[in-house]
Amino acid sequence: MRSLDEFLPTYEFSERHSIEIGAPPERIEAALRAVTLADSPVTLALFRLRGLHRQASEPFLAGMGRMGDVLEDAPGEGIVLGLAGQFWRLRGGAQDECKAVLDFRVQGSRLSTETRVHVSDAAARRKFARYWLVVRPFSGLTRRLILRAVKRRAEA
């Protein structure tokens, strides 16, 4: 699986999270692809607060893939997704002022996720920075809760 540097080498905002899972990599990946928002009610609530009304029973990655583009899907390793827009707007805005990539990677017994955001325009960067100040804790919480839900599924 290619590095995020190949998709978005320049970025101003990022966050990473990972978790150790007591299961073989193929089981971790299967759990990653099967986990739903119903597996994490807090994540479901946060998505709905943001105006992202998705089916609780839909696999998380499938819904994320529809919000943007699947840039790489490497069975056995993980997935890279790309998004673009004005993320500080409720519906994302019509212009692609921000570019983001996020991944979920299985490496042995570790599942990790990284999010990177590049905003090339100075005015948009200031808007995104204010947005990120408020949203980042919830974004991080969402990622950690999804990782924990995958862990529960994989270890069950």
The backbone torsions φ and ψ at residue 23, rounded to the nearest 5 degrees and listed phi first, read -155, 160
Per-residue pLDDT tens over the stretch 23-64: 999 999 999 999 988 888 887 777 766 666 566 778 888 878
Tell me which of 65-74, 84-93, 136-145 is least confident: 84-93
Please tell me the pTM assigned to this model.
0.87
Residue 94 has pLDDT above 60, yes or no: no
The backbone torsions φ and ψ at residue 112, rounded to the nearest 5 degrees and listed phi first, read -130, 160
Residue 111 has pLDDT above 70, yes or no: yes
Q: Kind and range of the H or E element at 153?
A: helix 122-155
Domains located in the chain, CATH noted: 4-155 (3.30.530)
Using an 8 Å Cβ cutoff, are 12 and 118 in contact?
Answer: yes
Residue 18 has pLDDT above 90, yes or no: yes
Q: What angle do CA 56, 60, 61 make, to 5 degrees?
A: 155
